[in-house]
Amino acid sequence: MTIFKHTAVAAGLAMAAQGAAAQSIDEQINAGFASATGWFVNLIFMPFPGTSFPWIVAWLVVAATVFTIYFGFIQFRAAGHAIALVKGDYSDPDDAGEVSHFQALATALSGTVGLGNIAGVAVAIGIGGPGATFWMILAGLMGMASKFTECTLGVKYRNEFPDGHVSGGPMYYLKKGFAERGLPGGGFLAVMFSIFCILGALGGGNMFQSNQAHQALTGVLGEYPGFWTGIVFAVIVFVVIVGGLKSIASVTEKVVPFMAVIYVGTALIIILMNADMIGWAFGQIFAGAFTGLGVAGGMVGALIQGFKRAAFSNEAGVGSAAIAHSAVRTKEPITEGFVSLLEPFIDTVVICTMTALVIIITQQLMVDEATGLYMLNEAGTAIATVDGNSGVGLTAAAFGSAFSWFPTVLAIAVILFAFSTMISWSYYGLKAWTYLFGEGKGKELTFKIIFCLFVVIGASANLGPVIDFSDAAIFAMAVVNIIGLYFLMPIVKRELNSYMSRLQSGEIKKFTE
């Protein structure tokens, strides 16, 4: 999931505001926080002049394009080998690391697959039209190359400790990689990345998730204090994360496939029930991607929304996934780069496309002939313009048109997405914390307790300005990370050429042979 697609998932915040009147002190605190940090949020999400396209999204998309070309479209050339690695065909249990290739992939996916796949896609289509799906898929495919680059470096420059645990991620490869190449500034970039990562983990990766989980529960159980949701979630999260990455991975490898089966399975059923409309739906996607189908749904609008949602959903280039992938058991860094290729494909190309097809096929949108804007459709009547506050509602309406009980399934999905995102981001924040303050069980426990306290705060508080700030912090990670990737990508190419030559010569063989 990505957690932090603040525009796409504003529905939850709006629901929170409607569900319970904020206390005056909360309003004062939030207003003060927004006033103090608004400049940072506006800077990160500032659009290019004359457009609604945030420069940070362009930063991510341009990087993905550069890496795709530089590595010769590696996401397509290495797909088969990536699947073999996930299956464990080349895995040696005696290699250094803490988790298998599959567990590392599941942990990283649990941090990206989430509300953005539910609400973000709906917003993209609602504002940019069906054509946004095409650009979303394209951005996801290119983002695979960014993940390949950062995750390879994450393993190559990780710290391996005598007790078997490892620490890796952008903060380590920025410092070590720059030093290896004789470049200045690596240490400074590493510190900046770590600070942004901690802020993002406590906000978007934590408080927002518990807040959304509470909103999902109140939608099913009725209104009750968010404090109690926070307490329950904090206890469950603590039980999982106190055991370290192995405990987190053992949970995510079960939760992530379960989430995927529930959500994608339901989508597939709806699509198959309307099999005669699949061709028409793809026709709408391609027509909207290259023609002015509606004012807001023209090619430019579709391109902006598609690229924006893909970037916000799969986190390619942000550097977060490199932290999880760094813990894999392998002696070949490039292998985890291959495995990480699958992450944007599953998150964006598969799951996001499923959501898009359901919305298009069920025809929950219509074009207002007077304005050309896409409108929410109810019994053939346009009832509201689609915006950031209608994403979850649009997806629920699309699925609910086929299954009246889907809102309950959606609530379960939101809770699972929130939980899996929290435990993944607890690990990301922890590794940034230990980079700044040092390794040790006491220091790790301190961060884990702080993280769980923020779970309770998130479920109870009015989070608008806090989430905006943490969203900005997470994308500030991408600014720092991608600067480093540009300077370090020759090292990745060297690793790639070495591995592929040894694989083709037969020096590298399947472990099962």
- Looking up residue 372, the CATH number of its domain turns out to be 1.20.1740
pLDDT at 383: 37
Please report where in the chains the tokens 């319970």 appear, as a residue: 20
Is the pLDDT assigned to residue 138 strictly greater than 80?
A: yes
Give dist(CA 374, CA 282) in Å, integer. 18
Give dist(CA 373, CA 367) in Å, integer. 6
Confidence of residue 152 (pLDDT cuts 50, 70, 90): very high
104: its two tokens: 């590392």
Is the pLDDT assigned to residue 451 strictly greater than 80?
A: yes
Is the pLDDT assigned to residue 34 strictly greater than 50?
A: yes
Task: Single out the residue of 17, 11, 423, 415 nearest to residue 213, CA to CA.
Answer: 415
171: its two tokens: 């903060």
Confidence of residue 30 (pLDDT cuts 50, 70, 90): low
Confidence of residue 258 (pLDDT cuts 50, 70, 90): confident
Torsion angles phi and psi, residue 83, rounded to 5:
-65, -40
pLDDT at 293: 52
Task: Please name the amino acid found at residue 261.
Answer: V
Give dist(CA 445, CA 451) in Å, integer. 10
Print the domain residue range for 209: 10-505
Total structural domains within the chain = 1
pLDDT at 379: 39
Confidence of residue 484 (pLDDT cuts 50, 70, 90): very high
Residue 354 lies in a domain: yes
Looking at the chain, the whole-number percentage of residues with pLDDT higher than 70 is: 77
pLDDT at 302: 65
pLDDT at 188: 95
pLDDT at 53: 75
Q: How does pLDDT run across 188-244, given as a tens digit for each residue?
A: 999 999 999 999 888 878 887 888 778 777 766 777 888 888 898 899 888 888 776
118-127, 351-360, 455-464: the lowest-pLDDT one: 118-127
Average pLDDT, the chain: 79
In the predicted model, what is the mean pLDDT of residues 448-464? 83
Give dist(CA 86, CA 78) in Å, integer. 12
How far apart, in Å, are the Cα atoms of 95 and each of 327, 339, 513? 11, 16, 17
In the predicted model, what is the mean pLDDT of residues 1-6? 42
169: its two tokens: 């991620």
Give dist(CA 419, CA 43) in Å, integer. 30
Is the pLDDT assigned to residue 369 strictly greater than 70?
A: no
**First CA to last CA distance, the chain:** 37
Residue 443 lies in a domain: yes
Residue 185 lies in a domain: yes
189: its two tokens: 């970039």
Give the dihedral of Cα atoms 501, 507, 510, 511; nearest 10 deg. -130
What b/e string do you get for 304-326 counting C-beta neighbours within 10 Å, with b at 16 or more? bbbbbbbbbbbbbbbbbbbbbbb
207-216, 342-351, 499-508: the lowest-pLDDT one: 207-216
pLDDT at 459: 83
Torsion angles phi and psi, residue 159, rounded to 5:
-95, 130
Residue 378 lies in a domain: yes
Task: Single out the residue of 74, 85, 88, 76 nearest to residue 148, CA to CA.
Answer: 74
Q: What does pTM read for this prediction?
A: 0.80
pLDDT at 254: 73
Residue 5 lies in a domain: no
In the predicted model, what is the mean pLDDT of residues 98-102? 79
Give dist(CA 248, CA 255) in Å, integer. 10
Eight-state DSSP code of residue 228:
H
What b/e string do you get for 54-86 counting C-beta neighbours within 10 Å, with b at 16 or more? bebbbbbbebbebbbebbeebbeebeebbebbb
Give dist(CA 91, CA 98) in Å, integer. 13
25-39, 137-151, 269-283: the lowest-pLDDT one: 25-39
Residue 349 lies in a domain: yes
- Tell me if residue 384 falls in helix, strand or coil: strand
Residues 454-457: contacts with CB under 8 Å, at least 24 apart: 454/202, 454/206, 454/207, 455/206, 455/207, 455/210, 455/230, 455/233, 455/234, 455/237, 455/422, 456/210, 456/227, 456/230, 456/231, 456/233, 456/234, 457/207, 457/230
Residue 2 lies in a domain: no
Q: How does pLDDT run across 59-79, given as a tens digit for each residue?
A: 988 999 999 999 999 999 998
Q: Considering only residues 36 and 139, tell me which one the structure prediction assigns the higher pLDDT.
A: 139
Q: How does pLDDT run across 316-325, given as a tens digit for each residue?
A: 888 988 988 8
Task: Single out the residue of 104, 441, 111 nearest to residue 244, CA to CA.
Answer: 441
Q: How does pLDDT run across 268-314, given as a tens digit for each residue?
A: 888 998 889 999 999 888 888 877 554 444 555 666 767 776 776 77
Which residues neighbour 375 within 8 Å (Cβ) at sequence distance 6 or greater?
A: 365, 366, 367, 368, 382, 383, 384, 385, 386
pLDDT at 191: 96
45-54, 240-249, 291-300: the lowest-pLDDT one: 291-300
Task: Single out the residue of 60, 21, 104 nearest to residue 319, CA to CA.
Answer: 60
Q: How does pLDDT run across 112-127, given as a tens digit for each residue?
A: 666 666 766 777 777 7
Residue 512 lies in a domain: no
Please report where in the chains the tokens 């697609």 appear, as a residue: 5
In the predicted model, what is the mean pLDDT of residues 351-379? 67
In the predicted model, what is the mean pLDDT of residues 243-261? 70
Is the pLDDT assigned to residue 386 strictly greater than 50?
A: no
Confidence of residue 19 (pLDDT cuts 50, 70, 90): very low
In the predicted model, what is the mean pLDDT of residues 475-483? 93
Give dist(CA 283, CA 122) in Å, integer. 18
